Chain A
């Protein structure tokens, strides 16, 4: 018997790329995207009674939890929801109350947050790292439930969790180190990060994220078929994926950019104290101000200007 699954969605809600997307061909507006994402969420919830979801949004400069509503119990939302759903679920008797609850709650929260955006915020990059860390905290909470007060009740087994990240903007502006820390934490929690790329911008970090955590990477070519992509590539849970061919990205760039010119380097020079990367041998580390010995610089080829001047003075 497999374990229940938890699905954590991370939505990039930056207004500028979404505006661009809704005017591109084929167009994909935020509303149309959310409608398809909700069908995907409902499909996940319908797969198994114990399945749960959480949704986090990355807005310019800050991140928010969109679903479940704050203060609601973890993972057991649907069990506790029984009494409340009449009030919040919109009262449609033909809808499975969990679906109704998720749909209504998510849509209203997204509208609320997007409406609250101010003009000035639009240039700042989306806080994907914040959303990712919150999602990981939530998953960590699920996998380490507080011990039950009544010891006779066995704690329910923690669910298999996975993260699906919808990206619409390029990731170059993202803070590299915090993002990598998120990837390593996901690795440790055994949480695959699936990346669904909706626009055509370059995302080196997200390539690395899906590769290192063993998740899928899909670039949506035909946006009108988004739901098809979602249900074919991202709906399968971690256990099932072992027997499936999950689309991944083969060309993962693992080269690093030097700290001095931000150029991608093949062979770099690394400070032994702070691991800063330089494209040419330098006499002093620009990050931690460590002075390197002149012998080393000479060894790496005295032709470099920095090495030369240092060699003559020493």
Chain B
């Protein structure tokens, strides 16, 4: 069987004959090794390669990553590196813009591994410290994007689940959980089952229109469970709890199964940056489960509901001080519940007296951009001479000539740095395109 030569395998043609030979040697030896390893029969090896089941990094084909970087005329790599950075940024933007129904009101339990495995120093400064600092950032960003959400924190150590923070809609209170590092000192073995059961119990009372999510930051490769963890997963499935796991060490079968069955996301962090990427991918509200799922049919009947919400009156700082119902503290600032006239410190929250959900209109408005996103811009590949000379957003002039790089149009990169709004037909540069879709959510031309 001849060794397979695919397009990305050998990038340069003829210019470096020695390299090509080396590559062929490499392919041949690899193929031979594969045959030897499989041992059972040649057709098996052939099948597996045809299927190209590349779920693991070491099974992926060999890529000469250094060949994609090219020096410019001055021999500098700077421009090439900038280009790569811009591409990776755009890749994140290129999500589909098909209308999906998102869960706006989210409830999440953050399960943190506090076992001795978290003391490993394979991530700097240590898995534990890194997790704490990322968790803080995550909480801030999460509440920024999901102002009506609530989050609780559970720790896993010494074989039990430990409640660190109650479910709360106030980011400050959640951040307080991570404030005291000495209280979170890792010890013992983690127990997935115990902590998931604990998280499940604290979410079982929630209304059906809100999402229930568990996010596990898992560093260990073991779990000590008192019973059958598959029963717990079944119970989560019944309660429509979505489990997502970011593993810091390696993939575990039970973790992947858990995420796949409940509709969550599983990821193994390769390094510090990848860890953060995996974590922050969970910030935007998830799409609601498709109706094809066997549970959705049952749930569809009462999935969406009308919620009663109160819009409070804000007391200015010059108001006479009075006691709040949440902390019994004497303060002048606060919000008055429209139903029972009690005073709460901060919104959004549930009124401590009458249980009414109290929000202010900006909190609702903050979620609207998930529902009414800005239209995705199209990369301009060809100029017809009638384009505006400057970016419609920041008035920065566009480059007039295309950059002489082998740009791939499928990637959504414009060689002229122009991106056009499909609605108002104005051109924007890459920086504004990113800003409009990541932060602003309004097209400057349409607005």
- Tell me whether A212 is interfacial, beta carbon within 8 Å: yes
Q: Which residue of A lies closest to B347 (CB)?
A: A254
Given contact pairs A70-B390, A208-B362, A296 touches B371 in the complex (Cβ within 8 A): no
Q: Which of B316, B317, B371 contacts A251 (CB 8 A)?
A: B316
Contacts of B339 in A (CB 8 A): 267
Contacts of B28 in A (CB 8 A): none
Quick check: which of A13-21, A97-105, A137-145, A195-203 contacts chain B, the rest being far away?
A: A137-145
Quick check: which of A36-44, A215-223, A268-276 contacts chain B, the rest being far away?
A: A268-276
Contacts of A293 in B (CB 8 A): 301-302, 305
Contacts of A251 in B (CB 8 A): 316
Q: Which residue of A lies closest to B339 (CB)?
A: A267
- Tell me whether A96 is interfacial, beta carbon within 8 Å: no
Contacts of A176 in B (CB 8 A): 365
- Contact yes or no, B393 A272, CB < 8 A: no
| A138 smallest CB distance to B (angstroms) | 5
Quick check: which of B19-27, B41-49, B271-279, B437-445 contacts chain A, the rest being far away?
A: B437-445
Q: Which of B309, B390, B391, B440 contacts A181 (CB 8 A)?
A: B440
- Contact yes or no, B338 A137, CB < 8 A: no
Given contact pairs A70-B389, A137-B436, A181-B440, A175 touches B447 in the complex (Cβ within 8 A): yes
Contacts of B445 in A (CB 8 A): 130
Complex Cα distance, B313 from A65, in Å, reads 38
- Contact yes or no, B441 A212, CB < 8 A: no
Q: Which of A127, A141, A255, A269 contacts B396 (CB 8 A)?
A: A141
| B371 smallest CB distance to A (angstroms) | 6
| B315 smallest CB distance to A (angstroms) | 10
Q: Which residue of A lies closest to B144 (CB)?
A: A188
- Contact yes or no, A68 B395, CB < 8 A: yes
- Tell me whether B223 is interfacial, beta carbon within 8 Å: no
- Contact yes or no, B338 A266, CB < 8 A: yes
| A236 smallest CB distance to B (angstroms) | 20
- Contact yes or no, B444 A297, CB < 8 A: no
- Tell me whether A250 is interfacial, beta carbon within 8 Å: yes
Q: Which of B144, B367, B394 contacts A134 (CB 8 A)?
A: B394
Complex Cα distance, B300 from A290, in Å, reads 11
- Contact yes or no, B435 A140, CB < 8 A: yes
- Tell me whether B35 is interfacial, beta carbon within 8 Å: no
- Contact yes or no, A180 B362, CB < 8 A: yes
Complex Cα distance, B391 from A310, in Å, reads 53
Complex Cα distance, B441 from A188, in Å, reads 13
Contacts of A45 in B (CB 8 A): none
Interfacial residues of chain A within 109-152, with CB under 8 A of chain B in the complex: 127, 129-130, 132-134, 136-138, 140-141, 144, 146-147, 149, 151
- Chain B, 153-187, contact with A by CB distance < 8 Å: what is the 0/1 string? 00000000000000000000000000000000000
- Contact yes or no, B308 A177, CB < 8 A: no
Given contact pairs A137-B444, A180-B362, A275-B368, A267 touches B309 in the complex (Cβ within 8 A): yes
- Contact yes or no, A271 B394, CB < 8 A: no
Interfacial residues of chain A within 180-233, with CB under 8 A of chain B in the complex: 180-185, 188-189, 208, 212
- Tell me whether A74 is interfacial, beta carbon within 8 Å: yes
Given contact pairs A266-B310, A292-B305, A137 touches B394 in the complex (Cβ within 8 A): yes
- Contact yes or no, A267 B338, CB < 8 A: yes
- Contact yes or no, A267 B311, CB < 8 A: yes
- Chain A, 297-310, contact with B by CB distance < 8 Å: what is the 0/1 string? 10010000000000
- Tell me whether B78 is interfacial, beta carbon within 8 Å: yes
Complex Cα distance, B366 from A182, in Å, reads 10
Contacts of A290 in B (CB 8 A): 304
Q: Which of A71, A140, A273, A300 contacts B101 (CB 8 A)?
A: A273
- Tell me whether B217 is interfacial, beta carbon within 8 Å: no
Contacts of A47 in B (CB 8 A): none
Contacts of A137 in B (CB 8 A): 391, 393-394, 432, 435-436, 440, 444
Interfacial residues of chain B within 301-358, with CB under 8 A of chain A in the complex: 301-302, 304-314, 316-318, 338-339, 356
Contacts of B361 in A (CB 8 A): 254-256
- Contact yes or no, B304 A271, CB < 8 A: yes
- Contact yes or no, B390 A136, CB < 8 A: no
- Tell me whether A282 is interfacial, beta carbon within 8 Å: yes
Q: Which of A136, A266, A273, A297 contacts B304 (CB 8 A)?
A: A273
Interface centre among A134, A137, A256 (most CB of B within 10 A): A137
- Contact yes or no, B306 A254, CB < 8 A: no
Given contact pairs A180-B366, A273-B304, A267 touches B395 in the complex (Cβ within 8 A): no
Contacts of B369 in A (CB 8 A): 177, 181, 184
Interfacial residues of chain A within 230-277, with CB under 8 A of chain B in the complex: 250-252, 254-256, 265-275, 277
Having A134-B394, A252-B314, A290-B304, one finds 12 other A-B pairs with CB under 8 Å, namely A70-B397, A133-B393, A133-B447, A177-B372, A178-B447, A181-B369, A181-B441, A184-B369, A254-B360, A275-B371, A277-B309, A282-B306
Q: Can you list 21 pairs linking A and B with CB atoms under 8 Å apart?
A: A70-B390, A74-B394, A133-B393, A134-B444, A138-B395, A147-B78, A175-B447, A178-B442, A178-B447, A185-B439, A185-B440, A188-B439, A212-B362, A250-B316, A255-B311, A267-B310, A269-B307, A270-B306, A270-B309, A271-B304, A275-B364
By a beta-carbon cutoff of 8 Å, the part of chain A in contact with chain B is 63, 65, 68, 70-72, 74, 127, 129-130, 132-134, 136-138, 140-141, 144, 146-147, 149, 151, 175-178, 180-185, 188-189, 208, 212, 250-252, 254-256, 265-275, 277-278, 281-282, 285, 290-293, 295-297, 300
Closest 4 CB pairs of A and B: A137-B393, A272-B209, A256-B361, A266-B338
By a beta-carbon cutoff of 8 Å, the part of chain B in contact with chain A is 78-79, 82, 101, 104-105, 144, 209-210, 301-302, 304-314, 316-318, 338-339, 356, 360-362, 364-369, 371-372, 389-397, 431-432, 435-436, 439-445, 447
